[in-house]
Chains A and B, each alone.
Chain A
Amino acid sequence: MSEPVLRVHELVTSFPAGRGRAAAVDGVSFQLAEGEVLALVGESGCGKSVTALSLLRLVPKPGRIESGSIRIAGREVLTLHVSELRSVRGKEAAMIFQEPMTSLSPVLTVGAQVAEALRLHEPMSAAQARRRSVALFEQVRIPDPDARFDSFPHQLSGGLKQRVMIAMALALKPRLLVADEPTTALDVTIQAQILELLRDLQRELGTAILLITHDLGVVNELADRIAVMYAGRLVEEGTRVQVLGEARHPYTQGLLRAVPSLGRRGERLAEIPGVVPRPSERPPGCRFATRCPVRLPRCASDPPGDTPLAPGHVARCHVVAQELAR
């Protein structure tokens, strides 16, 4: 089997909290194979965005990557010199963000910004860059691409802006695309279009995608595998079928139950009681212990280890481990 496109091992990223620092990402490990789509799922504040930003060392100060290893296409990102990092960003791995409204510079045309991405990594004339950018616009299904090249961001809708972002990210055919909640800020109908676009492009280019989202509907559309994150740690990981159909971790089960379904009318919406603990208030053991409906006494003090459930399916839970032992 070939080297995974992305290999993250025990990543820890911290932020200041009170007097000291708290780990927003606390020992997260996962892998992404060539052409695979991994969805990183969790509530707001669980650390998934910070994980994504850490991959390209884009964590804003005063945040800081404390330890761990991130290998993209075989290269260790955390020890790269700044100039080498620049050649990875945009070329080997690219990123698209949640807020298309503010992610583009308002004073430059969208075409100029895409062309910039190209010319940063490959020598080409302005005319060539323009041609390639327009071709990219076509690829991401922007209507009237040649005219759109000279548009300013404020003249485009959210959906069009996001397409521009995708064009910019995929311009140099990166092997890894990190998509941080790419559809959250868009209208539902536009969401569907963007997801369809991402799926088609992914098949066409064979790009591996790390998809960050809190929306399980989005996950179902795109993901090959799913990793569930809670309070800075991964709690369950598996294929789409395994996690969505045979979830074992109480948190995952709670998440799935909370999705309202059209079929069940008149029922009370299920919810997970309590709130995500703040980084300074995390219990020493399993982080979900405070809200878990089936917690054991040891859950509060003992961090659970990996419990393999099936090939490729892992959960981190004492209760699951116990059930399996029987």
Chain B
Amino acid sequence: MSVEGHVLANAVIALLLAACAGLAVVIHRSELWRAAAVELWRRRPIALLVVAVYLVIAALDSISWVGGGEVGEGGDVLAMHQPRSLIDRLFPLDFDEKSYSAPLASVEFYGGDPLDHPGRHLLGTDILGRDVLHVMLDGTRIALLVGGFTSLLVIPLALLVGVSAGYFGKRIDDVAFFVMSVLMSIPDLLLLIALIMAMGRGPLQVCIAMGVTSWVGFCRIVRGETFKLRELDYVEAARALGVSDLKLIWRHILPNLMHLVVITFVLTFSGLVLSEAILSYLGIGIDGSWGQMIDQARDELARDPIIWWNLAAASAALFGLILAVNFVGDAVRDVLDPRTLRERQ
């Protein structure tokens, strides 16, 4: 993270938190959504809590500032002037060892030299001596960035195109559908690779590439649903009464698409995070992600005796998030199913 970039990140987090608070208010006000949220909590409290934990870690890791911390003799003075997040500050400033060490060990893995911080690396250290627990926690931010930020980029765009195509039909739909067809006919991973190769490798490019590939799925669902909604009797009645298109879309079509958006978002989330892991294997992922940790592990497993803690930490973190999101996603889909929505009304 660049020295000024952290200020931007802090601002973004503050904004996101404000947005979440606003969203919470909106949900609380609407009886339908509040009932759904309560039902969701009733069904899958554990999975929701797990996701919340990940979210909190990611948020904490995004708030950073410069300063504080002490450096021991011969320590890295430069490090003192790098911005460090709340998570970073959980660890001492000069925590790195020289290379591998096993969890809670007192000596280096190769050579047996004593460590600088014996017994304090809960999950050991990696090839560069970094504390594995620290790297794992840092990876949380990236995973949620990939899954969440990308979707946030994609949803408004997909809504715009999908609703326009579904509502106005004809030419607009022809064009939109053609673009969607082209994107849909390239296998996702190939498209991701092509985009990143063309745009260059970096976290922003990866997010954009993932956005492009996941946009189509969203858009297709929105378009299909808008087609259906447009034909509904009350929409036709409103149109006959002379209600403007924009108003119709805002009041009748969009609210009825929201449940689909939520479901699709949650279901796409895991796919995105898993895709990033594969991109990291190919070397075009985001630095510091769990995928990258797993990529390093291939080499580590081949050694004898094997080095397993890097892989274990990243796998556990990845698995935990994906599993929790999958469970939550299933529950969200059940809760927001139009049939059950109607019953509860």
Are any A and B Cβ atoms less than 8 Å apart in their complex? no
Residues of chain A touching chain B, judged by Cβ–Cβ distance below 8 Å, are none
